[in-house]
Amino acid sequence: MTEKIKKIKQWLEKNDSRLAYITDPTNIFYLTGFKCNPHERFLGLFVFPEDEPFIVCPELEVGQARAAFAGKVIGYRDDQDPWAAVGKALDKKKQNGEKIAIEPSTLPYKNAVILSDLYESPAFISIEGLLSSMRSVKSRAELDAMKKAGEIADYAVQIGVNAIKKGRTERAIIAEIEYELAKHGYSEMAFDTMVLTGENSAAPHGYPGTRQIKEGDFVLFDLGVVVNGYCSDITRTVCYKHATDDQIKIYNTCLQANRAAIQVVRKGLRIGDLDGTARKVISEAGYGHYFTHRLGHGLGLGEHEAPSMSADNDKTLTTGMVFTIEPGIYVPDLGGVRIEDDIYLSEDGPVTLTHYSKDLQIIQ
């Protein structure tokens, strides 16, 4: 049995629960090494305080599940009801009114209803806190994958910057980035690649389109790649041909906020205060109300995971965490700047996993 499954078992014991029903494919991959995108099909990992855990998955995935997972694997065909197999496997362990540990954010409601029938009014408790705190502290192997993902993200930004040309559209630059990466064997992006130009860059989560690059534009790249399941997430903003004094001031304020936050990263720091450090720099420069989102987020198997680097987070930074620091300033009609790095908190302090230059670049 793996250490991770052991932790789940101990937690169940402590919380007086006799079943954890895990359905989120990312959590299942994290706990078992079995990577599966079941689409609309049923996938579940069942863990008990004492009995051996088992996986129920589509028949076509059974081979891969067995290769990754030492416990029992139960497959079902597309013409079979997966719940019949689950019910049979659970039969001897079942007790009505059971406390069942679930992931409230991802458990499909229809499955909760079926479980409620199987166990006759169970009490559902959340196991998400445990899973997200386990996932937030990275092992050596996880860190190695994330370092590599960071390097490839640096390279992807370089491809994008090289592709900047007058009249080029955002979509065309994205196509170039992803084509070049795929040629080098990196075809899984952590999320939809973002290239936003000119006034479009003022939308933190904008949708790239057919806007053509013009002189004087900000060009914002936000992208990430997946290596062995682990994500990177980088944002860089450059200017095209020339920059106004306003643009330079916005850029350098954002950069100062990024650097100030990275500098104070240490074990035990209240996470909300990290957000505050960056926000103070931006507010003092007069752009406070243009920094409209939290400072960052945890990163790992998910492109957004715990911890949330927001002002109201009273939790503290722990050694082993990987998270983003991504202050932004978005001025409507003018454009936006965001500078995002991935940070690993080592025993000796912060280690930056993204290295693409942050000094203001004016691309000619």
CB of 76 to Mn ion, least distance (A): 37
Indicate the residue among 53 and 302 with the shorter CB distance to Mn ion. 302
- The least distance separating Mn ion from the CB of residue 148, rounded to whole angstroms, comes to 18
Number of residues located near Mn ion, criterion CB under 5 A: 5
Nearer to Mn ion, 94 or 293 (CB): 293
Give the per-residue SS3 of the chain.
Answer: CCHHHHHHHHHHHHCCCCEEEECCHHHHHHHHCCCCCCCCCCCEEEECCCCCCEEEEEHHHHHHHHHHCCCEEEEECCCCCHHHHHHHHHHHHCCCCCEEEECCCCCCHHHHHHHHHHHCCCEEEECHHHHHHHHHECCHHHHHHHHHHHHHHHHHHHHHHHCCCCCCEHHHHHHHHHHHHHHCCCCCECCCCEEEEHHHHHCCCCCCCCCECCCCCEEEEEECEEECCEECCEEEEEEECCCCHHHHHHHHHHHHHHHHHHHHCCCCCEHHHHHHHHHHHHHHCCCHHHCCCCCEEECCCCCCEEEEECCCCCCECCCCEEEEECCEEEECCCEEEECEEEEEEECCEEEECCCCCCCCCEEC
Residue 275 near Mn ion by CB under 5 A: no
Q: Which CB atom, from 51 or from 303, has the smaller least distance to Mn ion?
A: 303
Nearest to Mn ion of 235, 313 (CB atom): 235
Q: For residue 200, state whether it binds Mn ion (rule: CB under 5 A).
A: no
**Residue 10-39 contact track with Mn ion, rule CB under 5 A, x = bound:** ------------------------------
In the complex with Mn ion, the residue whose CB is nearer, 142 or 233, is: 233
222 binds Mn ion (CB under 5 A): yes
**Nearest distance, CB of residue 137 and Mn ion, angstroms:** 19
Q: Exactly one of 233, 275, 341, 342 binds Mn ion (CB under 5 A); which one?
A: 233
**Min separation Cβ 342 and Mn ion, Å:** 8
324 in contact with Mn ion (CB under 5 A)? yes
Give the nearest distance from C-beta 313 to Mn ion in angstroms: 16
User: Quick one: 73 or 173, whose CB is closer to Mn ion?
Assistant: 173
Binding site for Mn ion (CB under 5 A): 222, 233, 235, 324, 340
